[in-house]
């Protein structure tokens, strides 16, 4: 019998039109998008379904938008598909902002709370560092030790830190732009397979995000948070988190802290998970999971057809 973890994507998985077929086919999905629109006081759903891509990719929009699509999929699985989340799913986890979707899925907070927190998070992260002063790069084929060496050598008075340990030889670094440029040059010298700047507007998951961390500490202190009905694996600890105050702390630290995705997946498999289901937009996490552990089963669920296929497998 399969042991399931539901995983929720982060920024970079967005695409114009995501979730539109769900909203057209299912009233329960439509209700999620309407709830997010109401929470934010604007028609974010119009941007999600119609674009433009530039507006959707903007951090303050992408974060609540991706959560909305994930929750729309989950709501259809539960309400139309009869899924008993706590009965069928052993663990929940999300990549960066996806952790908010995981917690919303586990009823730690509602969709309205998640949308408002993610809008606050997106705006705070965008404002933390002036545009053009910081960035991120992906190193493909580098070990954690090599990446740490590159960060130390390339910083040269600036800031350069490991932001995401995604597994499968993919590590993301974050920091000041000059340090990022130095790191890319150094990676080539060290014969790292590939080093590429990411199309992001700020140095996420680095100490440069400290102002945003302070904003989120205040927002999360006021948020109504309950223990989730299914344990959630926190990005910053790669371990289960269920106590409301521990959740607040994990989400606050996550702004500047490393996304320990490889360790999170390894923790879930060590707890018996053998089947990972990506809930929401894209297939990024499914690909990462397969590279971390080729033995596990993965699937991505973002369309009505995907939902039908998943429900048949239960």
Report, as residue numbers or ranges, the catalytic residues: 96, 205
- What whole-number distance in Å separates Cα of residue 164 and Cα of residue 261? 7
* Among 159, 163, 183, CA closest to 173: 163
Residue with tokens 């998943």: 310
Where are any strands of DSSP class E within the chain?
4-8, 89-94, 134-140, 160-167, 170-176, 194-197, 232-234, 239-241, 275-279, 297-301
Q: What is the DSSP string of 279-313?
A: ESS-SHHHHHHHHH-TTSEEEEE-SHHHHHHHHHH
* Among 216, 238, 237, 241, CA closest to 227: 241
Tell me whether strands 275-279 and 4-8 are parallel, antiparallel or unpaired: parallel
* Among 62, 107, 60, CA closest to 84: 107
- What whole-number distance in Å separates Cα of residue 182 and Cα of residue 283? 31
Enter the tokens of residue 277.
């289901």
Enter the tokens of residue 232.
């959630």
């Amino acid at each position: 019998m399969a042991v399931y973890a539901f995983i929720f994507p982060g920024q970079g998985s967005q695409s114009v039109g995501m979730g539109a077929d769900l909203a057209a086919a299912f009233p329960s999905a439509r209700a999620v998008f309407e709830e997010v629109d109401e929470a934010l006081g604007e028609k974010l759903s119009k941007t999600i379904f119609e674009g433009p891509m530039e507006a959707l990719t903007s951090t303050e929009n992408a974060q609540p938008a991706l959560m909305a699509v994930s929750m729309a999929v989950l709501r259809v699985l539960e309400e139309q598909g009869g899924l008993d989340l706590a009965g069928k799913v052993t663990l929940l986890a999300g990549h960066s902002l996806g952790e908010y979707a995981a917690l919303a899925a586990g009823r730690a907070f509602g969709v309205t709370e998640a949308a408002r927190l993610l809008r606050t998070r997106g705006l705070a992260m965008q404002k933390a560092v002036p545009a053009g002063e910081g960035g991120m790069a992906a190193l493909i084929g580098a070990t954690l030790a090599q990446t740490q060496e590159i960060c130390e050598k390339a910083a040269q008075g600036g800031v350069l830190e490991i932001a995401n340990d995604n597994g499968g030889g993919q590590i993301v670094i974050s920091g000041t732009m000059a340090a990022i440029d130095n790191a890319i040059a150094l990676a080539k010298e060290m014969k790292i397979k590939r080093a590429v700047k990411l199309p992001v507007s700020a140095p996420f998951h680095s100490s440069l995000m400290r102002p945003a961390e302070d904003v989120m500490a205040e927002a999360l202190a006021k948020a109504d948070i309950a223990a989730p009905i299914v344990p959630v694996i926190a990005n910053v600890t790669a371990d289960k988190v269920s106590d409301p105050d521990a959740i607040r702390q994990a989400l606050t630290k996550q702004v500047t802290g490393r996304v320990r995705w490889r360790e999170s997946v390894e923790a879930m498999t060590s707890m018996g998970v053998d089947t990972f289901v990506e809930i929401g937009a894209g297939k990024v996490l499914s690909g990462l999971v397969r590279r971390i552990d080729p033995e596990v089963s993965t699937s991505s669920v973002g369309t009505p057809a995907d939902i039908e296929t998943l429900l048949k497998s239960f």
